[in-house]
Amino acid sequence: MFTGAEILDLAIRIEENGERFYREAIENVADRSLKELLRWNADEEVAHRDYFIRMKKMIALREKDDLADQMSGFILQDAVSDHAFSLEEVDFSSISDEDELLKIAIGFEQDSIAFYEIMESFVSDAETLKHVQRIQDEERRHIALLEDRRRRIAG
């Protein structure tokens, strides 16, 4: 079973892994404009992580252990158990070209969106839900930028 804090720990970890991926990718590419795109995405991941850290602190102040919380935790655990959600390390030595790097980055962003869509159904606070949806929109914008870059390099 997951508590609210554990759900947010997963969200924080996803964002930290995304940031780490982008920062490592920067070190493995030569193209200046690609480095800037990767740096911008890394900074976005930091902002998302920081939001989830603040959210976790607020939840810690008011979390209770009632039956509804326990049931939602079991449901969420079942929902996320079949997904890796970009929690695995990337071996940059096996990435052969920019297109492959961009596909991996897009996969990270898609995993984040999938997790936040699952998370949405467990958020009851309207303001928090709005923030989670805003972060999903930002992740979609990241995908659009990465896909645009893929189209440009393809010719």
Q: Which of 93, 107, 98, 86 lies closest to 20 in space, CA to CA?
A: 86
18 in Cβ contact with 39 (< 8 Å): no
Per-residue pLDDT of the chain (155 residues), as tens digits, is 456 777 788 889 889 999 999 999 999 999 999 999 999 999 999 999 999 999 888 876 665 544 345 545 555 555 555 555 555 678 888 888 999 999 999 998 998 998 888 888 777 778 888 888 999 999 999 999 999 999 999 98
Q: How far apart are CA 3 and CA 65, in angstroms?
A: 9
106 in Cβ contact with 147 (< 8 Å): yes
User: Where do the domains of the chain lie, and which CATH numbers do they carry?
Assistant: 4-154 (1.20.1260.10)
Q: How far apart are CA 83 and CA 114, in angstroms?
A: 9
Assessment of whether the complete model's pTM goes beyond 0.85 = no
